[in-house]
Amino acid sequence: MDDQRVWAFEESLWTADADHYRESIDDECLMVLPQPPFVMSGAQAIEAVAATPRWSSVELSGRQVARPEEGLIVVAYHARATKGDETYEAHCTSTYRRRAHEDWLVVQHQQTPPLTAAVEA
């Protein structure tokens, strides 16, 4: 999968419907998200996405792609997603594995909101 397709696929995971998400996430996927239950399986993540309104747009910046071996792709980036008046930002990683030609599934995903330090006067 070339870089352009990698990023189109990653963006679709933020904005596409629950059916697309269901087709793209491996049942054995592990996700770490900044809200309870924090660590989820692929099945739990699919269930959560099905019950949550999708983001209307997402901007991915600071994009990096690694291919540590044939059939494995790791991406890292900063996401800024919006829907209505709501905005969400996080530093993210995803790992894809190829099952067959042009058949890729997400096996790992994590989101870390930007860390903020308290400012002392």
Band (42; pLDDT cuts 50, 70, 90): confident
Q: Give this prediction's pTM.
A: 0.88
Task: Give the 3-state secondary structure of 84-113.
Answer: CCEEEEEEEEEEEEEEECCEEEEEEEEEEC
Q: Report pLDDT digits (tens) over 44-78.
A: 988 887 777 789 999 999 999 999 999 999 999 99
For residue 40, give the amino acid letter. Answer: M
